[in-house]
Amino acid sequence: MIEVNKEKVYAAFDQICKTKNYNFTYGTAGFRDHAIRLDTVMFTTGIIAAIRSITHGGKYTGVMITASHNPPQDNGVKIVEPKGDMLLPSWEPEITRLVNLASNNTFDAWFDAMMDFYKSKTTSDDVIPHFMLAHDSRESSPHLLHCLTTGVEAWFGVNNVKIKCHGLLTTPQLHFLTFLQRENDSVKDYNTFFQNAWANLYKGDDEELPFDNLYVDTANGIGSRQLELFIKDWKFPNDRIHILNGDYQNPSKLNIDCGADFVKTQHKLPKHETNTKLSPRDLYCSFDGDADRIVFYYQDSQEKFHLLDGDKISTLFAKFLQKLLHESQLGSQLKLGVVQTAYANGNSTKYITDKLCVPVSCTKTGVKHLHHEAQSSYDIGIYFEANGHGTILFSEKFQQLVKMNTNHAAKKLYHFSQIINQTVGDAIADMLGVLITLISLKWTAHDWDKEYQDLPNLLTKVIVPDRTLFETTDQERKLVKPVGLQPKIEDCFNKFEQGRSFVRASGTEDAVRIYCECSDDSKIKLLSTEITELVVNSVKQ
């Protein structure tokens, strides 16, 4: 075990940890808060990420500084496991406890607890921790990076820890590079991998494209810079792809009136500085701030907006992969399934189960829950939250069978599995997957959309002083606290034909998220308003 110099740690702690008397929660995507509060979080998180590396025998763990779709003044941090997936859930309470000790107790109390934790996880004297760092384009990210590395170097010593800093990356790129576990890899390796996977599927004939132009709203985030780099060597007609809201060098614009979360919640086009006339033959998509979410959309000839969200992406992939399984004659040997949350549109679930006859599982909100279910239950596990965050997981059995099978459909299945970033939801990789699926099926955006019609729905949020007051059960479909609120919600939505509504605390901000759907488009706002009033009144009581 590397010897810790308490005096050096104290000096760094005293310099960095200014946030006091404040409680943090490691939510669905790590810690998130206003950036000015995160110094203490970063200091402790870096040390724990290094300890996590030690438990893996010195393999690289990843640390990503980002707040995804949150507004520019926020930031956050999360730890990535060596296989590219998210931090082991059993570590979440421990990291939360230790971060809050740093905020709410003396240095000695925090240090003693950290030492106990360190000793309990360290079994070898000669393991050097390794971890990779990256951050998004927020103004606060460089300072928070400094807070994090200061803590690590104070605890372990500069020469006893290996830090690989990638600088500006999307969150999925950091996950992927952590998965590769190679010290000298860079974003070029990410780009080359997915460009090659695409080249194995795309013939390069412009006439194959079922759309005239692809417009990509990158939310003025780091996805803009990384997509610019990606398309330079991407086998795709560059005159057909156009980046909107690409001002990542102006952090104050991040996620403002644009991006996947804006489009999903507002059900309208993002604001962008272009005079381009929208055409029904064009396809549009939006990333979020760190490019791990994507939603698609288009406007028809009557200029009506049509959203193609995470539910639509899941059903598109299920349709395509089922077709390839049938053509490859592997359908009886490989189990295809879709994982959703309770907030998936009711008609998407009905389409998958009734029309495609593909099994559907339901989990709590948060991709870590969907990821686990997809991995444990299916050979091809498709999971997407309605917000556009998701991916597809392919089992070892899948890899073995498709490699043994030499028919065209099996080869296509294999190459398609390579075009997907299986470590985490990835806006760039998911975009490639959607595009190659539409090309293969010869579907326009309208063809995709007409497979089933979404029930009218609204996803809104209410800012609350304490989100922990809202507790759920039944995969977050029912509230148990505040007591008495759930019966009122049910009485409300039962007045509407095919009415449903779910209320849950956000995992990333002090807010409550409210999902509503019913069969009548003219009444969905009324349902949402009534449920919102119930939530607001419950907070006031």
Catalytic residues, which ones? 68
Give the number of other Cβ atoms within 10 Å of residue 94's Cβ: 17
Q: Phi and psi at residue 413, in whole multiples of 5°? A: -60, -45
Give the number of other Cβ atoms within 10 Å of residue 480's Cβ: 12
Alpha helices in 159-259 (DSSP H): 171-180, 187-199, 222-231
d(CA 387, CA 393): 19
Tokens 């057909």 identify what position? 240
Polymer length of the chain? 541
d(CA 532, CA 385): 22
Q: Phi and psi at residue 470, in whole multiples of 5°? A: -105, 110
- Amino acid identity of residue 475, one-letter, is Q
Query: What is the secondary structure of 401-453 as a DSSP string?
Result: HHHH--SHHHHHHHHHHHHS-TTS--HHHHHHHHHHHHHHHT--HHHHHTTS-
Q: Which is it for strands 294-299 and 305-308: parallel, antiparallel or unpaired?
A: antiparallel
d(CA 435, CA 441): 10
Task: Find the radius of gyration of the CA atoms of the chain.
Answer: 23
Is 312 within 8 Å of 449 (Cβ atoms)?
yes
3-state SS class at 43: helix
190 burial (CB, 10 Å; 0-12 / 13-18 / 19+) is buried
Is 428 within 8 Å of 172 (Cβ atoms)?
yes
Q: Which is it for strands 336-341 and 390-394: parallel, antiparallel or unpaired?
A: unpaired
Is 341 within 8 Å of 374 (Cβ atoms)?
no
